[in-house]
């Protein structure tokens, strides 16, 4: 159980800056997910906490103690690797007990610890197997078992589910969550999968290009993404973006002109300047599609009917609903339509963007405006 403080931590390789002054405060027992595209520095940050990478500048502090210069083995952290990193020449029991044997625990304590962990993880029947004789999911469990027998200060997870198939990933995700609820150990979890981030995290740290873009609860990041990057990264299918410009003529100060001409009324509270370039975001699941689109829409269609008219480009049924790709002028957007979608490519549909679901970002800096 530990509080982890990352203070102004930087990392460079030669002249390449991987992490730019990262600050992050992790509370005891918290489940933090570092999420971002590959190369954003999330794994590097995790490895620096583990002691596998040197810290170029800044401090990493666990429970008030600066650990920058401690060897990995003295940090009392456990890590689960994407590759599982099980010792191929040791049995499951050997793998799980290795850390305890290194610490010269008594035989009976070791047996008790790995017995308990294997029971929790359902590995009891596999204890004498070698890693090669295990399935992917079983290996994943052994890696988790190896981490929990130590009762470390914190767990570090480095994309632990990336090598599993979708079904197993879903199952292990739930197991990790239950494990955390049961043990309450501070956890830092790295993933590029935003679903994993949303489902597991107490707080998500969204990273891009070596900087933290936003820290917040999953709901925060989904409802109020701080910038275009977070808006585009969290949510699947991804948020749609429309380029727009604030109308300059006086009577309609509260109207945005979309790139293709139609207008959209926006709340005056945004305080936009006339002529200011804006990017409007809307999540696919918030777009109302079809003939059911109400007439009092936010988008004023070219034809002046009130509802925006669009042309269907592609329909991807997902069972629960369908992802409808539609063209608004020339740009393709996606809408998630719950229920059956019987449209075909080329069909004309109406799309409605509810005003209260719109996100506004500055076109130059990408920052959230509303």
Partner 1 sequence: MAMSRKRILGTLAHRAAVLLYIVVALFPLYWLLKVSVTPTRLLYSEGVRMWPSKTTWAHYAFVLQNSDFPQFFENSLIVSLSTAAVVTLLAAAAGYAISRFEFRGKIWLIGFLLVTQMFPLVMLIAPIFKILSSIGLTNSLAGLILVYSAFNVPFAVFLMQSFFDAIPRDLEEAAMIDGASRFMAFRQIIVPLTLPGMAATLGFVFTAAWSELLFALMLISKSDISTFPVGLLSFVSKFGVDFGQMMAAGVLALVPAVLFFLLIQRFLVQGLMAGAVKG
As measured in angstroms, the least distance from the Cβ of 98 to partner 1 is 5
In angstroms, give the least distance from the CB of 34 to partner 1: 18
**Member of 36, 58, 131, 210 binding partner 1 (CB under 8 A):** 131
Q: Which of 133, 174, 338, 345 binds partner 1 (CB under 8 A)?
A: 133
CA distances from 319 to 94, 316, 340 (A): 45, 9, 8
Q: Which stretch binds partner 1 (CB under 8 A): 16-24, 66-74, 164-172, 350-358?
A: 66-74
Nearest distance from residue 131's CB to partner 1, in Å?
8
Number of residues that bind partner 1 (CB under 8 A): 30
Which member of 15, 69, 88, 319 binds partner 1 (CB under 8 A)? 88
Contact 206, 198 (CB under 8 A): no
Tokens 């926006």: give the residue.
266
Q: What is d(CA 149, CA 154) in angstroms, rounded to the nearest whole number?
A: 12
Say how far residue 182 (Cα) sits from the centre of its chain: 23
Query: From the list 11, 139, 141, 146, which residue makes contact with partner 1 (rule: CB under 8 A)?
Result: 146
Closest separation in Å from C-beta 73 to partner 1: 4
> Does residue 103 interact with partner 1 by CB under 8 A?
yes
Q: Does 83 bind partner 1 (CB under 8 A)?
A: yes
Contacts of 112 (CB under 8 A, 6+ apart): none
- Among candidate residues 273, 369, 368, 288, the one with its CA nearest the CA of residue 336: 288
Integer angstrom CA distances of residue 126 from 79, 107, 140? 22, 19, 13
- CB neighbour class for 259 (10 Å; exposed up to 12, middle 13-18, buried from 19): middle
Evaluate whether 282 touches 308 at the Cβ level (below 8 Å): no
Radius of gyration of the chain (CA): 25
Helices (H), strands (E): how many in the chain? 8, 20
Tell which one of 21, 81, 115, 290 touches partner 1 (CB under 8 A).
Answer: 81
What's the min distance (Å) between Cβ of 355 and partner 1?
A: 50
Question: Binding to partner 1 by residue 91, rule CB under 8 A?
Answer: yes
**Would you count residue 77 as binding partner 1 (CB under 8 A)?**
yes
**Shortest Cβ distance from residue 87 to partner 1 (Å)?**
6
Helix then strand then coil, % of the chain, to nearest 5 = 30, 35, 40
Pick the piece of the chain touching partner 1 (CB under 8 A) from 19-27, 55-63, 91-99, 229-237.
91-99
Considering only residues 1, 102, 174, 345, which one is a binding residue for partner 1 as defined by CB under 8 A?
A: 102
Residues lying near partner 1 in the complex (CB under 8 A) are found at 50-52, 71-73, 75, 77-79, 81, 83, 85-89, 91, 98-99, 102-103, 128-133, 146, 150
């Amino acid at each position: 159980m530990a509080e982890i403080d990352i203070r102004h931590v930087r990392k460079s390789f030669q002249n390449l800056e991987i992490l730019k002054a990262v600050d992050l405060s992790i509370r005891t027992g918290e489940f933090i997910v570092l999420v971002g595209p590959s190369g954003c520095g999330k794994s590097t940050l995790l490895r620096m906490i583990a002691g596998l990478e040197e810290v170029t500048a800044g401090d990493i502090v666990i429970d008030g103690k600066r650990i920058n210069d401690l060897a990995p083995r003295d940090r009392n952290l456990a890590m689960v690797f994407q590759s599982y990193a099980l010792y191929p020449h040791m049995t499951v029991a050997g793998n799980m007990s290795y850390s305890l044997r290194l610490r010269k625990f008594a035989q009976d304590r070791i047996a008790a610890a790995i017995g308990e962990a294997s029971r929790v993880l359902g590995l009891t029947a596999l204890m004498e197997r070698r890693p090669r004789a295990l399935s992917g999911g079983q290996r994943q469990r052994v890696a988790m078992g190896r981490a929990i027998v130590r009762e470390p200060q914190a767990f570090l997870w480095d994309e632990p589910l990336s090598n599993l198939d979708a079904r197993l990933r879903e199952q292990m995700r739930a197991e990790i969550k239950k494990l955390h609820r049961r043990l309450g150990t501070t956890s830092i979890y790295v993933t590029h999968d935003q679903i994993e981030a949303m489902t597991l995290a107490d707080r998500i740290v969204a990273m891009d290009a070596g900087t933290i873009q936003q820290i917040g609860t999953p709901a925060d990041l989904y409802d109020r993404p701080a910038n275009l990057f977070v808006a585009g990264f969290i949510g699947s299918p991804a948020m749609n973006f429309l380029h727009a410009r604030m109308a300059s003529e006086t009577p309609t100060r509260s109207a945005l002109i979309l790139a293709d001409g139609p207008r959209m009324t926006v709340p005056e509270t945004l305080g936009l300047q006339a002529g200011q370039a804006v990017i409007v975001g809307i999540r696919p699941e918030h777009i109302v599609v079809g003939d059911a689109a109400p007439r009092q829409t936010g988008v004023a269609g070219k034809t002046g009917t009130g509802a925006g008219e669009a042309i269907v480009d592609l329909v991807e049924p997902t069972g629960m609903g369908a992802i409808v790709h539609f063209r608004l002028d020339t740009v393709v957007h996606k809408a998630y339509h719950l229920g059956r979608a019987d449209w075909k490519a080329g069909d004309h549909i109406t799309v409605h963007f509810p005003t209260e679901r719109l996100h506004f970002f500055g076109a130059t800096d990408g920052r959230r405006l509303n």
